[in-house]
Chain A
Amino acid sequence: MTERTSRHTVVWLIAILIAVAAPWAFFNYTTGRQSGFVVSMLSQMGMMSILALSYNMLLGQAGLFSLCHATFFGIGGYATIHFLTLAGDGTLPIPLELVPVLSGLSGLALAVVFGSMAAKQRATAFAMITLGIGELMTTAALMFHHFFGGEGGVNSNRVIGHSLFGLKYASGIQVYYLIVGWTVICALAMYYLTRTPLGRMANATRDNFERAQFIGYDPRTVRFMQFALSGFFAGIGGGLYAITYEIVTFDALAAPLSANALLMAYIGGSAVFGGPVLGAVLITLLQSGVSLMSNSWVIYVGVLFICMVIFAPNGIMGLVLAHGPIARAGKLRLLLVPYARLLVPVLLVLFGFIGLVELTSFLTIGAAQGKTLVLYGRKIDVNSLTPWLISTAALVLGGALLRIEARAFHRVWESLMIELMPARVAA
């Protein structure tokens, strides 16, 4: 137990260290500043980590499939814009560092209202109600201009001249460290929550709704409380969003962001506490990085999601942890060659797939703009047959090879598992 605890502490410390050091890896010595693009991307990762972790309080920990999680993120954002305005003109005497507390309370309040409707329902009914809530709030955001500002959204200024540490928060890097601070606080709080009676009973109602009743708990109350608390943390995430961008539009509470929360938690791995953070980092990278290179990045995220659901239902974290027993037995190197052999067909498939997607997307969008397609570092004529043939051939050949290699890999994996079986049982 203590060994596990200390290992957890190390993982936490490394994550925090990376978050703190990351902007300095992209320090630009000519301007004397960190890269603005990187800082903004890292900030995004922070708030998305909070969103994904709070979503996982529902999906992973309570088995609740919510489709409206962005609602609480968004309401935290909208409310925060108003809090900032009030704080800016001196009506609300609060330092900027503590504004996210109010954002969280806004999320909590709305989650209490909606949670009392949704949390009584199970499975599909719950998902349907949350879908309705999400749509309702998106409509409301466009209808009620006074609070939501309509399509243009609401904006404010984060430089309110009131800080605990005497900071102005005019630069992105200062805001980034505010986000890091709050992300760490939220993550620790959510982790703590998993080890309290409510957190454990949330797991219990996930595993077996009915049994929870027969050990004295009302599973609906457990779900309601878990739902409300996850709304609190989502609200904090939204508050940081508002502080960072100083403008909040209905995008911050609409369905695509709710779907993103689900994607991040799922792809990262909802069964492990840190999984959603991994998902948040990866999706944000794809969103910011790949979107610069390709219009089709959404397709890549979609295909990644489908592949994860089919081949790695426990997410990236699940994949990594599956290697745990092998690593402990010191047999990880036995997987080196099989992995290397998998790499070739995987690259071929990727090459072919990306080629086809880019060619097709260029045909419909790029060509109309009179551009030339640059793919894999060379100019491509989309109207000639060659690139299409090469891509298709790579995809088909790679796919066929992948099937063969995957079988071979599976055999090695299974034999390792069988070999390790007695050790696992004894442990």
Chain B
Amino acid sequence: MTDIALSLRDVTKSFGSTEIIRGVSLDIKKGERHAIIGPNGAGKTTVFNLISGRFPISSGEILLNGNRIDELAPHRINRLGLSRSFQITSIFPRMSVFENLRCALLWSMGYRYSFWTPLWRQKELNEKTIAFLEDLNLLPRRDVAAGLLSYADQRALEIGMTIAGGASVILLDEPTAGMSNTETDNAVELIRRVSTGKTLVMVEHDMRVVFGLADIITVLVYGQIIASGPPHEVRANPAVQEAYLGALEAA
């Protein structure tokens, strides 16, 4: 039990009378790199939204390191060590790249809602922010408004903000969507580097990324898991092949 980082038990989600997630059960081990794949509309992003507390679940249970989190607000889940990125880049566009990352560090470093701490004098915080910027290759852009960054840089910042808080479980929602091949390679490298020692769950369409990164792949179709296992097993699974209509062979 203790080596399970994230656990979903019979999770369902309905919007009105439409059931989007139809009973998903999944255990993700600590330190695992886990990819969730599936055709469009399968409910992959919805699963992320349920885990991260963006939407409430309709029934079932979600546990993070053995604790129920399915009734907590997103910021409480985040404080328990689960952090997520968004498919559509979600940063603070009018703030500088530096401020974006620094804000992502604030809570984990115990600053809370302080309105008396002068940020410019927080040596450790600022050094850590710089170190992250360096790691993300964003240091030359530190004073640029985040909204003016190139798309690939925004995606890198998005990942950086997701991991900066030191969460042990990281959810990445299509981290390489819309990137060129080179950019994707860089992003994969970045994800591999920053997710070391952490539990990584990602939704991804690019099969190169999925098979390059994931230890375990879960296939979601119409709100249900049809397969879950190591890449070679999933690839050989006839149900998966049917659902994907040969998309996997192309990869």
Q: Are A196 and B92 in contact (CB under 8 A)?
A: no
Interface size grouping (class) on chain A = 20 to 34
Q: Are B102 and A207 in contact (CB under 8 A)?
A: no
Look across to chain A and name the residue whose beta carbon is closest to the beta carbon of B74: A213
CB distance from A3 to the nearest CB of B (A): 13
Look across to chain A and name the residue whose beta carbon is closest to the beta carbon of B79: A216
Main DSSP-derived SS at the A contact region: helix
Q: Are A197 and B119 in contact (CB under 8 A)?
A: yes
Contacts of A196 in B (CB 8 A): 114-119
Look across to chain B and name the residue whose beta carbon is closest to the beta carbon of A192: B118
Task: List residues 63-122 of chain B with CB under 8 A from any CB of chain A.
Answer: 73-75, 78-79, 83-84, 86, 90-95, 99, 102-104, 106-108, 111-120
Q: Are B113 and A222 in contact (CB under 8 A)?
A: yes
**Cα–Cα distance between A215 and B108 once the two chains are bound (Å):** 9
Q: Are B75 and A213 in contact (CB under 8 A)?
A: yes
Look across to chain A and name the residue whose beta carbon is closest to the beta carbon of B114: A197
Contacts of A200 in B (CB 8 A): 95, 99, 102-103, 106, 119
Contacts of A211 in B (CB 8 A): 86, 90-92, 161
Q: A196-B115, A200-B102, A222-B113 are in contact. Are A208 and B75 (CB under 8 A)?
A: no
Q: A195-B118, A197-B113, A201-B106 are in contact. Are A214 and B93 (CB under 8 A)?
A: no
Q: Are B93 and A208 in contact (CB under 8 A)?
A: yes
Q: How many residue pairs at the A-B interface have CB separations less than 8 Å?
A: 98
CB distance from B156 to the nearest CB of A (A): 16
Q: A203-B95, A208-B90, A208-B93 are in contact. Are A215 and B115 (CB under 8 A)?
A: no
Q: Are A229 and B78 in contact (CB under 8 A)?
A: no
Interface presence of B52 (CB below 8 A): yes
**Cα–Cα distance between A192 and B74 once the two chains are bound (Å):** 29
Q: Which of A203, A214, A218 contacts B52 (CB 8 A)?
A: A214
**Cα–Cα distance between A197 and B107 once the two chains are bound (Å):** 9
Q: Are A197 and B115 in contact (CB under 8 A)?
A: yes
Interface presence of A204 (CB below 8 A): yes
Task: List residues 201-227 of chain A with CB under 8 A from any CB of chain B.
Answer: 201, 203-204, 206-208, 210-219, 221-222, 225
Digit string of B155-171 for contact with A (CB within 8 Å is 1, else 0)? 00000011011000000
**Cα–Cα distance between A229 and B93 once the two chains are bound (Å):** 25
Residues in chain A within 8 A of chain B (CB atoms): 192-193, 195-201, 203-204, 206-208, 210-219, 221-222, 225, 229
**22 A-B pairs in the complex with CB atoms less than 8 angstroms apart:** A196-B114, A196-B115, A196-B117, A197-B113, A197-B119, A198-B114, A198-B115, A200-B95, A203-B95, A203-B99, A204-B92, A208-B91, A208-B92, A208-B93, A211-B161, A213-B73, A214-B74, A214-B162, A215-B165, A216-B107, A216-B108, A221-B113
